[in-house]
Amino acid sequence: MSDPTLLLHLNDGREVDLHMLNAEPTPPKRKKKKRAKHADVPQNFLSPQSGRIAAFTTQQPTHFAFESPPKPEKKPSKPTGGRRLGIKQSAHPPEAGWVSSGACLTVEAYKKFDAWKNDYQPKHYYYGKSIKLIHLGNPCDRQQDIRARPWILAWDTLDRNEPPELANKRVPVFRVVYHCSGHCRHGKDSDDSDDPSAKEGDEQEPDIDTDGYVDVDSDSPESESGAKSKAKPDLHSLSVSALNNRLNAGSVPKRKPPAKAECKVVLHAEVFSDDLSKLHFFQQHSHPETLAKYLEPSHYIRQCTLEMARTLGLSAASIKRRLLHLFDEDETPSYRRPDATQVNNIVNNARRKERLLSDPLLSIGAFAELNPDKVFRYTEPNYETDPPREFSTGIHHPYGTQVMLLLAWVNGVGLDSTYRHMNENRAPLTIMVTLDEKSRMVPGFAYLSSDTTIETQVTLLKETKKLVEKMARDLVEGQHSYSALWGGITLTLSVAKHSG
């Protein structure tokens, strides 16, 4: 019987317990989740990691390695539709500040960049899977810059025709994202000779900086005579000084911007699938024009200068004569023309030996030829394969050989592959190391090769063994003495040859 004080008498004579009124309702029973049935794995199977640990612990040969459980077969995924032949669409909404900046033919894109009085730097290149970019001329050091050379787009299909998936569609297939270089922010508040408030009697010395830009007074007699002369003499009869005067008179003196500034203007250069010969420009936000003295020289003219210097091997004077013809044919604006000093700097940089050896494999070959005492097992690459194969070279130093001779027989030898994928070379790097008396890793030999197969590693061990044995033999026979800095004390390793 319930507590009388907690009973509620109803009119019909029934009694209700107040405890039952305040009690929470009983929650429904949860359904048990059905667990996925796993395939029965035999007890003799181990996971891959456990198998390796067990094999290493028991020193089992490779053909006796513990087996891993068979991997379950993956079900084929559902098709996601056709392959993406274009790139992601960019809406360029006007409310976000986007406006159209015109269009031009792809082969004349460099003229469009030269005509603008602003400089842009490329940030990202996006290529569709259905097109192929073809540049005209030598790439030099601008392999994909569309501002430096004429170029075209072609369909990368078997029949060189438009894919059926893109028929009657306007889909972007190529895009380059440019950001303003910030030179437009150095305009009215900079002190320069273009300021009309400058006094006429003030003489300014030419400003020469590390970039090769030379500021010459535009009111000089040479500039006036060059600008007023209407007659065009034969360029082949002009001397070097006369050619320099013609170049300086037709160009705007350049000056390095005072400081790096930021500009939020973004430029998109896009090609659509309906017409691969036309390049469309879209600009976000607006900015003022850059002063002529802060504009970069034409990238196309620079590329032509490099091509004539590297490929044709022309002298600076011959290049200047051809540039003067090129200025008239392409109508290059004066604010994009380089002066004589800039042309000389481009030619000199192209003639430097290290620029000609831009291929790292060629550079290593030159290093091996000039330093035979520091290189072992050098084999030239086979350029008939892509990438080049059959290439190897080892680099050694007396210190590394001494390290291996003194410590490797006690502490063992290891192959360090830490830097194998951290260099710009196409060849992987392997370093042979050992430990000193304080268990610190010290280097011995370095080995560059086209691959890291077992044969390559065996070759490395054989060649380094020869180097160590040669040093030991020389010490025993008393032919050489080697000095090394060991633990802060200079030690001289030498063994006198006993007579008799």
Question: What is the 8-class DSSP label of residue 231?
Answer: -
Counting every residue, how long is the chain? 500
Residue 4 Cα distances to 8, 18, 24, 252, angstroms: 9, 10, 22, 109
Q: How far is CA 394 from the centre of its chain?
A: 26
Cα–Cα distance, 101 to 79 (Å, whole number): 40
pLDDT of residue 384: 72
330 membership: H or E segment, kind and range: helix 316-330
Cβ pair 200, 301 in contact under 8 A: no
Alpha carbons within 13 angstroms on the beta-carbon side of residue 427 total: 27
Alpha carbons within 13 angstroms on the beta-carbon side of residue 492 total: 6
The long-range contacts involving 377-382, CB below 8 angstroms and separated by at least 24 positions, are 377/447, 377/459, 377/460, 377/463, 381/450
Place of tokens 């699938």: 273
Cβ pair 100, 281 in contact under 8 A: yes
DSSP string, 383-402: TTSSS-BS-EEEE--HHHHH
pLDDT of residue 269: 95
Cα–Cα distance, 99 to 104 (Å, whole number): 16
Place of tokens 């400081």: 259
Q: Closest Cα to residue 270, out of 88, 440, 415?
A: 88
Cα–Cα distance, 446 to 429 (Å, whole number): 7
The answer to whether the predicted template modeling score (pTM) of the entire model surpasses 0.75 is no
* Helices and strands, number each (H, E), in the chain: 13, 16
Q: Closest Cα to residue 389, out of 440, 427, 345?
A: 427
Q: How large is the greatest C-alpha to C-alpha distance in the chain, in angstroms?
A: 135
Which token pair is 115?
Answer: 């005509």
Which token pair is 259?
Answer: 């400081």
Q: How far is CA 297 from the centre of its chain?
A: 24
Question: What is the 8-class DSSP label of residue 361?
Answer: H
Residue 319's CB: how many other CB atoms inside 10 A?
Answer: 24
Q: Closest Cα to residue 439, out of 414, 411, 400?
A: 411
What residues have CB less than 8 Å from 334, skipping those under 6 apart? 250, 251, 252, 292
Q: What is the mean pLDDT of each run of 10 residues along the chain (500 residues)?
A: 50 55 64 60 60 66 53 55 72 91 93 93 91 84 86 89 89 94 72 40 39 41 45 72 88 83 91 94 93 91 88 86 87 91 87 56 80 87 72 87 89 82 66 89 88 85 90 80 46 44
pLDDT in tens, 81-95: 445 678 888 889 999
pLDDT of residue 85: 79
Cβ pair 146, 134 in contact under 8 A: no
pLDDT of residue 152: 92
